Chain A
Amino acid sequence: MIADPILEVTGLRTVFFTSAGLVRAVEDVSFTLRRGEVLAVVGESGCGKSITALSLMRLVPSPPGRIVAGSVRLEGRDLLAISEPEMRAVRGNLMSMIFQEPMTSLNPVLTIGEQIAEAVRLHRDVTKAQAWERAVEMLRRVRIPEPAQRAKEYPHQLSGGMRQRAMIAIALACDPKVLIADEPTTALDVTIQAQILDLVLQLQQESGTSVLLITHDLGVVAETAQRVVVMYAGRKIEEASVEDLFERPMHPYTHGLMRSIPHLAALSGAVAERLQEIPGMVPALSNLPSGCAFAARCGHADAACTAGVPPLVERRPDHFVACWHAGALS
């Protein structure tokens, strides 16, 4: 049993029916987000991390996509079993999401104040004036200078960093229990990224919101999350605390990822060595090999790896890994 879960995802399976065939975007993914923690889901493009996030919000475009199995329990209530009107009362209220590209997720013809107030009026019984007041207060909370003025501006009048702050203000306007952040800083410059991550962590501590952070950046993971789920080709292949994962990655893919990124040598004191490559590339989700999806790129693969999908096993306390050879490797 996991202490104090807020969001429990069990056996989630999302598929897309495409002309290229059935695409298994999310395959039997389970994890638990604990109250007040930051859980990172990390992986490369096409690993299913964003579709996992969209599935939790029930925002998978359908058709072609469909959630075919699993449950998503928010404080015990299965979000996959409730009606669409009930789900609408959850989105933006109990559970909110921020996206990578704030310019495409904000409405260009409404001021940002109106967009925050809209979210508030949708879920709270308040007057227009009260909703506006809340909007200005939210802009202040996300550290936007002159919030009363900025509330009257349109998205195009704001810089990229300010827009992402406005997105966060909308997402947090109703004090959600869970915030899903899908690559929230990927489109931003490094100094702005640092500001936004710092802001998300401060707000998370102020409000006690639990955060599910979707990212491809191991640096962002190390600096913000307490626990990490690693995904590859639609499946969860490893889960551990952030310290444990970086110190003792057990899946050959996780290990390979960490060796393949250049580190700032001046900080770590490391000598710049040749980067370790992971040979080959991510397999197409419409044409997955049998057995372990990483086998073709893995230096430890043998007959067992192509014969069957390795189950997720707890190899050390709270450290789960799906690899036939994880025991021998660690």
Chain B
Amino acid sequence: MTPVLHVEDLKKHYPVKSGFLRRTTGTVFAVDGVSFSIAPGETLGLVGESGCGKSTVARTVMRLVEPTSGKIMVEGTDIARLPKAALRPFRREMQMVFQDPFSSLNPRMSAGDIVREPLLVHNVATGREADDRVAALFAQVGLRPAQMGNFPHQFSGGQRQRISIARALALNPRLIVADEPVSALDVSIQAQVINLLMDLQRDQGLAYLFIAHDLAVVEHISHKVAVMYLGRIVEYADKASLYRTPQHPYTEALLSAVPVPDPKLKRRKRLLEGDVPSPMRPPPGCAFHTRCPYAEARCKVEAPVLRELAPGHVAACHLR
């Protein structure tokens, strides 16, 4: 089956300018060669710590920021270099849900108008037809159509995220890019939104690029998972394979660091030393070697490439 989205060697480098003349004095390697595919109806979870580039991947794939290089294939067409006008039909295929439901909705528009806007922009429906479609979308995400006239501030965080999801669904996309969609929500509300996303996938065959830092949430919702560190994917596998037999020492450490809500489970934690290095000066060789408990001499000089260690399970580590 053709993937909904296929990304190849995607890079996004930001110049760092400083001083009076705004000279370029360095480069932030936010995304540095990322490749993955998402099949129809599938969820790819993208995890990593702040600054690893996972949100930049989302924004670059959506062409909200321009990629430095690489391919973004949507239904066989590379959209990485398409001009704005030619890009429009592809925008209908991919929609985005953001982390903060407070800043991603226009406070001066009613909830109904927010959901209606994509229909108008893409000339899909107008007038009564659009009203009916918006009402149907409201019902679909668990909001009452009677709330269409309310403004964002009249909704709770969880409800606002439902509005964002309704807006994303308006054009019947095949893929939704969700950047930390539940991390701003309270625990009891998180479950409601996660269940909604999973129900929509089951009913409509949606594919998700699901970006999050919470490994338990990602495990719950994803089919495949990619782990990023300093702009690169360091491990990529089926969910079960990645969580049961993590191959990269970073994945291992991430899983070990997750606090588990079970006091009887006394695990020996494998704590990582130090902080994530700056993406402006990624360490030479394997970027993780400065924190890796197993690092050897060659890790400091030679960058590991992604290798298939088990069927469908790739990792970038010299030692595996």
- Taking A256-B188, A265-B243, A281-B189 as contacts, is the C-beta distance between A191 and B257 under 8 angstroms? yes
CB within 8 Å of B: which of A264-287?
264-268, 272, 274-279, 281-282
- Taking A216-B186, A218-B261, A260-B191 as contacts, is the C-beta distance between A191 and B216 under 8 angstroms? no
**Chain B positions 20 through 31: 1 when the CB is less than 8 Å from some CB of chain A, otherwise 0:** 000000000000
Number of interface residues of B (CB under 8 A): 43
How far is it, in angstroms, between the C-alpha of A44 and the C-alpha of B185 when the chains are bound? 9
* A266 in contact with B243 (CB, 8 Å): yes
Q: Is A31 an interface residue (CB 8 A)?
A: no
**Chain A positions 183 through 209: 1 when the CB is less than 8 Å from some CB of chain B, otherwise 0:** 000000111111101100000000000
Q: Is A166 an interface residue (CB 8 A)?
A: no
- Taking A189-B213, A256-B188 as contacts, is the C-beta distance between A266 and B240 under 8 angstroms? yes
Q: Which residues of A contact B215 (CB under 8 A)?
A: 190, 264
- Taking A194-B257, A264-B215, A266-B244 as contacts, is the C-beta distance between A242 and B190 under 8 angstroms? no
Q: How far is the CB of A261 from chain B (nearest CB, A)?
A: 6
* A267 in contact with B261 (CB, 8 Å): no
How far is it, in angstroms, between the C-alpha of A160 and the C-alpha of B159 when the chains are bound? 31
Q: Is A257 an interface residue (CB 8 A)?
A: yes
Return 21 A-B CB contacts under 8 Å, by A number: A159-B275, A190-B257, A191-B272, A192-B49, A194-B256, A194-B271, A216-B187, A219-B258, A219-B261, A222-B261, A222-B262, A222-B263, A261-B187, A261-B216, A263-B261, A264-B216, A268-B262, A274-B198, A277-B191, A278-B192, A281-B188
* B195 in contact with A275 (CB, 8 Å): yes
Specify which of A162, A219, A275, A278 is in contact with B259 (CB 8 Å cutoff).
Answer: A219
- Taking A162-B275, A262-B219 as contacts, is the C-beta distance between A246 and B263 under 8 angstroms? yes
Q: A161-B275, A218-B187, A222-B265 are in contact. List 11 more A-B contacts (CB 8 A).
A: A44-B186, A216-B187, A219-B261, A246-B262, A256-B188, A261-B191, A263-B261, A264-B260, A266-B219, A268-B260, A275-B195
* A275 in contact with B257 (CB, 8 Å): no
* B260 in contact with A223 (CB, 8 Å): yes
Nearest residue (CB) in A for B262 is A222
* B263 in contact with A242 (CB, 8 Å): yes
Interface size class of A (residues with CB under 8 A): 35 or more
Q: Which residues of B contact A267 (CB under 8 A)?
A: 255, 260, 265, 267
Q: Is B217 an interface residue (CB 8 A)?
A: yes
* B195 in contact with A274 (CB, 8 Å): yes
Q: Is A220 an interface residue (CB 8 A)?
A: yes
How far is it, in angstroms, between the C-alpha of A218 and the C-alpha of B216 when the chains are bound? 13
For chains A and B in complex, what number of residue pairs have CB atoms within 8 angstroms?
135
Specify which of A221, A265, A277, A282 is in contact with B261 (CB 8 Å cutoff).
Answer: A221
* A264 in contact with B264 (CB, 8 Å): no
Q: How far is the CB of A147 from chain B (nearest CB, A)?
A: 15
CB within 8 Å of A: which of B239-297?
240, 243-244, 253-265, 267, 269, 271-272, 275-276
Nearest residue (CB) in A for B272 is A191
How far is it, in angstroms, between the C-alpha of A266 and the C-alpha of B215 when the chains are bound? 11
Nearest residue (CB) in B for A275 is B191
**Chain A positions 275 through 318: 1 when the CB is less than 8 Å from some CB of chain B, otherwise 0:** 11111011000000000000000000000000000000000000
How far is it, in angstroms, between the C-alpha of A258 and the C-alpha of B216 when the chains are bound? 13
Q: How far is the CB of A165 from chain B (nearest CB, A)?
A: 11
Q: How far is the CB of B229 from chain A (nearest CB, A)?
A: 11
Q: Is B305 an interface residue (CB 8 A)?
A: no
Q: Is A45 an interface residue (CB 8 A)?
A: yes
**Chain A positions 156 through 191: 1 when the CB is less than 8 Å from some CB of chain B, otherwise 0:** 000111100000000000000000000000000111
**Chain B positions 169 through 193: 1 when the CB is less than 8 Å from some CB of chain A, otherwise 0:** 0000000000000000011111110
Name the residue in A189, A191, A217, A221 with the highest tally of chain B Cβ atoms < 10 Å from its Cβ. A191
Q: Is A84 an interface residue (CB 8 A)?
A: no
* A193 in contact with B188 (CB, 8 Å): no
How far is it, in angstroms, between the C-alpha of A256 and the C-alpha of B27 when the chains are bound? 47
Q: How far is the CB of A141 from chain B (nearest CB, A)?
A: 17
* A264 in contact with B244 (CB, 8 Å): no
Name the residue in B186, B243, B255, B259 with the highest tally of chain A Cβ atoms < 10 Å from its Cβ. B259
Q: Enumerate the 8 nearest inter-chain pairs by beta-carbon distance, A residue then B residue, closest first.
A: A219-B259, A262-B220, A266-B243, A194-B257, A189-B49, A260-B191, A275-B191, A218-B261
Q: How far is the CB of A211 from chain B (nearest CB, A)?
A: 16
Q: How far is the CB of A286 from chain B (nearest CB, A)?
A: 14
Q: Is A4 an interface residue (CB 8 A)?
A: no
* B50 in contact with A189 (CB, 8 Å): yes
Q: Which residues of B contact A44 (CB under 8 A)?
A: 186-188
Q: Which residues of A contact B253 (CB under 8 A)?
A: 191
Q: Is B231 an interface residue (CB 8 A)?
A: no
Q: Which residues of B contact A281 (CB under 8 A)?
A: 156, 158-159, 188-189
How far is it, in angstroms, between the C-alpha of A256 and the C-alpha of B186 when the chains are bound? 13
* A275 in contact with B220 (CB, 8 Å): yes
CB within 8 Å of A: which of B55-84?
none
Q: Is A243 an interface residue (CB 8 A)?
A: yes
Q: Is B194 an interface residue (CB 8 A)?
A: yes
Q: How far is the CB of A218 from chain B (nearest CB, A)?
A: 4
* B158 in contact with A257 (CB, 8 Å): no
Q: How far is the CB of A230 from chain B (nearest CB, A)?
A: 12
Q: Which residues of B contact A256 (CB under 8 A)?
A: 188
- Taking A44-B187, A189-B276, A243-B264 as contacts, is the C-beta distance between A264 and B243 under 8 angstroms? yes
How far is it, in angstroms, between the C-alpha of A272 and the C-alpha of B267 when the chains are bound? 21
